[in-house]
Structure 1
Amino acid sequence: MRWIILLLIYAIVDIYSYQALRSLSKNGWIAVAYFIISAIVVGNLIYQFNQPSGDGTFTGARGYAIGIFLAFFISKIILTVIMLGEDIVRVPFAAFQKASGGSENFTIPSRRKFLSTVALGLAAIPFASLLYGMYKGRYDFRVLKYTLYFEDLPEAFDGYRISQISDVHSGSFDNKNKIEYGVDLLREQESDLVVFTGDLVNNLASEMDDWKSLFSKIDAKDGVYSVLGNHDYGDYHEWDSAQAKKDNLNKLKQTHAEMGWNLMLNENRFIEKNGERIALVGVENWGIGGFKKAGDLEKAGEGLQKEDFKVLLSHDPSHWEEEVKKHDKHYHLTLSGHTHGMQFGIEIPGWFKWSPVQYRYKHWAGIYEEAGRYINVNRGFGFLAYPGRVGIWPEISVIELKKGPKPA
């Protein structure tokens, strides 16, 4: 049924968007080519989704089918909107002409070639962008650096640096050299601490088998700490049994250990320096909107005092909004991921930031502050479903902690 609905929507958009091309040329071969390409694109999508998928996710040929479909479909939606806008004007105009006696026949004015040309130009922007995002954008790693000020930061940790990555989604990778470059870029930051904030895999622990040795190279003076994300539990895979799902999660936990990462499961550790300390707290996934709520902030914070300086690792930023930022124990800094910035948007650093995901998540990319409590939402290291990134690039966050008041 879902494919029938998709095909109906696609057919309507396809036929309507074709009007822009038809107004420029009525060549029959152009029409044939247009609709053949459309049929191939949607046919390939349906075909790929009806093939067996060992990991049950949108990777490989299935991922590319999604990406190509989106490139065509979004571009055609733009054409459709513009053509519809023109019809909203020209059809009532023809009706008015008829009603006022200006014309004996009801004749709709021809489409304007100029408007169709502009429409095609505008539609070419997302089309080219989405193809570029698959070709290069998904591995265009960026290091984003932030400096945060806290008056109650222990003196010994003034200038302390934390590197964060999130949402690796290793089952989507297909270029070892590019991933090696990203890992090396992380290591070059030489931060005091490295943290990973969930979604190491798409579904299966085995997705990390070919990548463990590479990610094992990540290290830091005070260690590498990690938490689980919603995908790590295997909830989106059809398991043969409950035991198989449990075994998969146990294997994934073991993978963290084999890489030298300290996986935190609703617990806390202290990091000490020159007789002073800060608390690192890690919770399991907790998210609104149907996502797993395995995180237990009360358990994770056992033994901590309000006065302790605390850095919390929590995969889903909705946790910060719902529980963390108003918690009595005062969690100074929360590090999250999950949103990927939707892998699509527009950012002009310091000026403008937009992505469709902001209509779902209040905090979706970068640093946010409320009442002296901060959250950083990492845009993600990997990708999922759409095999690319446009405007929202894969990120390595580097956060420097400074003691003192926030500069004016």
Structure 2
Amino acid sequence: MTWMFLFLSALTIAVDAFVWKKYLRTAPLGITLRSLLMLLIVLSDLLMPLSFAILRLIPDNTTAVVRSWGLVNLLFLCTVLPRMIVYAGYLGRRRIWRRLGWGIALGTIALFLWGALVCRNRLRVEEVTITSDRLPAAFDGVRIAFFSDLHIGVLERPETEIARLVDTIRSLRPDLILFGGDLINIRYTELDPAVSALLGRLDAPLGVYSVIGNHDTGVYIKDSLALDRETNLSRLIRRQEEMGWRVLNDETIYLKRGGDSISFSGISFDAALRNYRHATDLPDIDLGSVYESVPRESYNLTLCHIPQLWSHITAAGYGDLTLAGHVHSMQMKLRLGHTRGVSPARLLYKQWSGLYYRDGRALYINDGIGAVGIPARLGAAPEITLITLRRGE
């Protein structure tokens, strides 16, 4: 990521220096306006170095540091990017290109402000029906509320936002509630007593379950002497258990309803995969401990964090339905009717959002709740998925 900060910073400064020397220095603006314009350009050019300094040089990733980093990134996108668009418009000889540049620039600012103030808080419920002839009769009609990637530490108003989330899930009256990992953003203390009390209100006849995501493992804690990863993870799991959630840690249990049962597996994020978390394909992974002694004739529901595990799960003969999160649609998605839409996530992931089928098995990827990197979501609104299981062809 370092190269990206350095490249963007150098590019921005170079372009601004060129435009200032060639056009703005001699423009008939008046000394006061010219000085103010120069000051604003210089300050905005410092945003990317500031973002780099916050991320790399500050001793630890506290909640305040991470939120400040996100706001600096958003300010960069709202100032520097529109300015570059205006510059591009002035490359055209005709006035129409200049007006178009200004229009797109102002639209870009409005888009990011909408993403930060409106879309990021526009909680939506996606209803999905999954049909399988392998599903036991007693589970026909079971409703699963699935959400993921809460990232508590980056929520602007954690208690307000989580209270609304909990109330929405409870109003759906699900039979089973599942969480797909990344409950926290950096450290377990984000799951404080007030937030724990709110999330502890979630309840369902078949239970509330979660798995561990990459952020939950503590790999983003810098000051590991003050809080090591193992302690962070164990305390996070304990706090979830105190809320009434069960954390499935590379294991399989059986859910019973009527006289039938299905196998339910949970796969924790392996910290060894940190450098592969955005990779298209993962190295060989041994899932033997997860599915040990699990009969393949049993309908299997698998909950994991990263969707790249799907091919490994199905290759092992399991995952009639696999649920994952992690991608967030990279917090940018243009929805086109009832299609999956368009997102830069397509460039990194084979499966990145919504429902996929392969050889009679299904994968659903939830777009998550929190916003990492910048406190905004552009079209990829926070999602609760309500899944109805149906028995049939």
User: Under TM normalisation by the shorter chain, which class is it?
Assistant: 0.7 to 0.9
| Contact kept in structure 1, 2:86 and 2:102, CA below 8 Å | yes
Q: Secondary structure at the match of 1:281?
A: strand
| Contact kept in structure 1, 2:60 and 2:222, CA below 8 Å | no
| Structure 1 residue 112: Cα displacement | 1.3
Cα RMSD of the aligned pairs, angstroms, is 2.8
For 2:313 and 2:82, locate their aligned partners in 1 and report how far apart those are by CA, in whole Å: 40
Select the residue among 167, 183, 198 that pairs with 2:166: 183
2:39 maps to which residue? 36
| Contact kept in structure 2, 1:68 and 1:131, CA below 8 Å | no
- 2:276 corresponds to 1:290: yes
| Contact kept in structure 2, 1:212 and 1:259, CA below 8 Å | yes
| Structure 1 residue 326: Cα displacement | 2.7
| Structure 1 residue 124: Cα displacement | 2.2
**Any idea what the Cα deviations from partners look like across 1:159-198, whole Å, max 9, x if unmatched?**
1111111001111122122331122111111110000011
The higher radius of gyration belongs to 1
| Structure 1 residue 243: Cα displacement | 7.3
Select the residue among 315, 318, 323 that pairs with 1:326: 315
Distance 1:122 1:267, change over 3 A: same
Letter of the 1:245 partner, please give it.
R
1:100 maps to which residue? none
**Any idea what the Cα deviations from partners look like across 1:230-254, whole Å, max 9, x if unmatched?**
1111112223439722111111111
Q: Secondary structure at the match of 2:44?
A: helix
For 1:280 and 1:230, locate their aligned partners in 2 and report how far apart those are by CA, in whole Å: 21
For 1:294 and 1:201, locate their aligned partners in 2 and report how far apart those are by CA, in whole Å: 28
Q: Runs of at least 4 residues of structure 1 off by over 2 A?
A: 1-7, 12-19, 25-62, 71-84, 123-126, 239-245, 286-297
Letter of the 1:315 partner, please give it.
H
| Contact kept in structure 2, 1:270 and 1:277, CA below 8 Å | yes
For 2:352 and 2:42, locate their aligned partners in 1 and report how far apart those are by CA, in whole Å: 36
| Structure 1 residue 33: Cα displacement | 4.0
**Any idea what the Cα deviations from partners look like across 1:59-118, whole Å, max 9, x if unmatched?**
32222111111223333444455556x4xxxxxxxxxxxxxxxxxxxxxxxx21111111
For 2:20 and 2:300, locate their aligned partners in 1 and report how far apart those are by CA, in whole Å: 57
| Contact kept in structure 1, 2:51 and 2:73, CA below 8 Å | no
Distance 1:164 1:207, change over 3 A: same
TM-score for the superposition, normalised by structure 1: 0.84
1:247 maps to which residue? 231
Letter of the 1:290 partner, please give it.
Y
Distance 1:4 1:274, change over 3 A: closer
2:307 maps to which residue? 317
Select the residue among 52, 61, 73 that pairs with 2:68: 61
Letter of the 1:55 partner, please give it.
N
**Any idea what the Cα deviations from partners look like across 1:256-279, whole Å, max 9, x if unmatched?**
111111000110111111110111
| Residue ranges of structure 2 left out of the alignment (5+ in a row) | none
Q: Secondary structure at the match of 1:159?
A: coil
TM-score for the superposition, normalised by structure 2: 0.87
Structure 1 window deviating more from structure 2 (329-338 vs 232-241): it is: 232-241
| Residue ranges of structure 1 left out of the alignment (5+ in a row) | 87-110
| Contact kept in structure 1, 2:59 and 2:223, CA below 8 Å | no
| Structure 1 residue 55: Cα displacement | 3.1
| Contact kept in structure 1, 2:250 and 2:290, CA below 8 Å | yes
Select the residue among 188, 196, 204 that pairs with 1:212: 196
% identical equivalent positions = 29
- 2:359 corresponds to 1:371: yes
Residues paired across the two proteins, number: 375
Distance 1:352 1:304, change over 3 A: closer
